């Protein structure tokens, strides 16, 4: 990875507004494609999210061995999608094999770099996080196979949580969660409230259970959204890649949680 520009801080508008716009595009587009085209729409949406995250993550983090890292990300995404879609019933068993092979491939890839292998540990960590993230996005396909309504609710809850978090922190990033990162506790709390409201409004049964579903999924996404802001603050420079990471990485973090909750309710 390249050295971070810690002495430069992006303006709040640059930090939040592009990400907020992409949140609306990615979550709204995913929900719309799922509703319009069913399984094919979900696959198209997830594939686009995965490819976007691969390209953005490699650029945003400055991973060494960028071409190989991108190839590993694409291969992991394709393998994860197949692992979720090919079984007759929704299950994640084969996804573990994808993660195991991805781990081994990432280690070999970084060891095979030409000497001197600068930032080897940091780059390896970045590749592994990328493999895990694109694999997690594939879990959205599993949620859709279990319950399309639950998938759309989860995606919209994530979108609401991230959008509210960015807009609140644009105006009132208080109390600050960390120095140099324009994210506040108020925005985090209101993000969870917004996600719970989405779950409640889309309820198809028990209102409390629906609100809790939205709150949990949105809360996970909101926390990962704050973590993504750390990446942006570390890089300290504007570009197309950072907003993509801010918009897509939280959705990846929320997907396995949405699957577990949907499976619990369905079971």
pLDDT digits (tens, 9 = 90+) for 180-218: 899 999 999 999 999 999 999 999 989 999 999 999 999
pTM over 0.75: yes
- Residue 238 scores a pLDDT above 90: no
- Contact between 266 and 89 under an 8 Å Cβ cutoff? The reply is no
- Residue 93 scores a pLDDT above 50: yes
Task: Convert the pLDDT of each residue in 111-154 to its tens digit.
Answer: 999 888 888 999 999 999 999 999 999 999 999 999 999 999 99
pLDDT class of 4 with cuts at 50, 70, 90: very low
How many domains, in total, are found in the chain? 1
In a domain, 14, yes or no: no
In a domain, 4, yes or no: no
> If residue 183 lies in a helix (H) or strand (E), which one and from where to where?
strand 181-184
In a domain, 74, yes or no: yes
Task: Convert the pLDDT of each residue in 150-178 to its tens digit.
Answer: 999 999 999 999 999 999 999 999 999 99
In a domain, 71, yes or no: yes
Q: What is the mean pLDDT of residues 240-254?
A: 97
In a domain, 51, yes or no: yes
Quick one: pLDDT at residue 125? Answer: 95
- Contact between 172 and 186 under an 8 Å Cβ cutoff? The reply is yes
- Residue 235 scores a pLDDT above 90: no
In a domain, 76, yes or no: yes
Quick one: pLDDT at residue 267? Answer: 58
Letter string b/e over residues 117-133, b meaning 16 or more CB atoms within 10 A of that residue's CB: eebeebbbbbbbbbbbb
In a domain, 87, yes or no: yes
Boundaries of domain holding 85:
19-266
Quick one: pLDDT at residue 170? Answer: 97
In a domain, 128, yes or no: yes
7 Cβ contact list (under 8 Å, min separation 6):
236
């Amino acid at each position: 990875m390249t050295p971070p520009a810690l002495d430069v801080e992006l303006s709040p508008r640059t930090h939040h507004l592009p990400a907020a716009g992409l949140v609306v595009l990615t979550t709204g587009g995913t929900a719309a494609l799922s509703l319009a085209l069913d399984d094919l729409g979900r696959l198209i949406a997830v594939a686009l999210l995965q490819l976007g995250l691969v390209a953005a993550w490699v650029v945003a983090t400055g991973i060494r061995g960028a071409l190989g890292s991108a190839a590993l990300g694409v291969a992991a995404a394709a393998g994860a999608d197949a692992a979720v879609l090919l079984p007759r019933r929704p299950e994640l068993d084969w996804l573990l094999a994808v993660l195991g092979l991805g781990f081994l491939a990432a280690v070999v890839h970084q060891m095979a770099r030409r000497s001197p292998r600068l930032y080897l540990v940091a780059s390896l960590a970045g590749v592994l996080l990328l493999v895990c993230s694109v694999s997690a996005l594939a879990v959205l396909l599993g949620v859709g196979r279990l319950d399309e309504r639950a998938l759309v609710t989860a995606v919209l809850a994530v979108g609401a949580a991230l959008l509210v978090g960015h807009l609140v922190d644009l105006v009132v990033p208080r109390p600050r969660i960390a120095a140099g990162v324009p994210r506040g506790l108020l925005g985090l709390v209101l993000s969870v409230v917004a996600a719970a409201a989405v779950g409640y409004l889309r309820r198809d049964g028990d209102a409390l259970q629906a609100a809790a579903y939205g709150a949990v999924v949105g809360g996970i996404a909101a926390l990962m959204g704050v973590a993504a802001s750390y990446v942006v603050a570390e890089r300290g420079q504007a570009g197309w890649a950072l907003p993509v990471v801010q918009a897509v990485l939280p959705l990846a973090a929320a997907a396995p949680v949405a699957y577990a909750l949907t499976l619990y309710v369905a079971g």
